[in-house]
Structure 1
């Protein structure tokens, strides 16, 4: 059975996991204009949960995730495939990016796009894949 991490690691994990997840969302949202994107953001998010996994164990991490990593992989692949269809409906060539301006309260706009949909799909696929691997390895070690 895996021993829990030290007290310092337990306290650090509780504070660092939300910060890492927030940073991964930042990387995801700026990724199609500057360095970053779904892949690196998914790795940062899985790094946050990996720290939690090594600190508290597989069962606690599964409870924290609330979604099976296999489902995240499936949703991510679905979103990646879904991102190709808007170009078809607008009569543009295959995989042409489409952009929509969504007004925000206060007068701003959010530029929603098919590259963002694709990046979110990559994010979920990478995150789910890494977490599935890490949890499987940790559970095999615990038994």
Structure 2
């Protein structure tokens, strides 16, 4: 029985060691705890943190866009220049390179087609876990089941 417990603890450590540095806080909480966490508990905590980050980054973008929408009415769209990608027609607050989640806010990408990717990411691209990565992790964990 101890062998099975040790094997599951090793899987928890593998999962934690594979996380980006953005999840250092969660990793430290789990490793410094006196409790023994199951792989499901760890996964649930990581997923909850990812959702919290997505919500907070989304709210931040909404706040920024509210300020941008108060720009003078007479400003022609073509005169706006993004300080990030240097393209005309938008500002940094609406740059699809920085905020890909804003890309499909009108249901289409720059080519006018529906976006293909179902991945959800943070605006800076660091520490994000896509839906596909979650499915792959679940499939991997089910394969190595004892």
- Structure with more of its chain in strand, by fraction: 1
Q: Comparing both chains, which one has the higher relative contact order based on Cα–Cα distances under 8 Å and sequence gaps of 6 or more?
A: 1
TM-score under structure 2 length normalisation: 0.31
Instruction: Point out the structure with the larger helix share.
Output: 1
* TM-score when normalising by structure 1: 0.31
Higher alpha-carbon Rg: 2
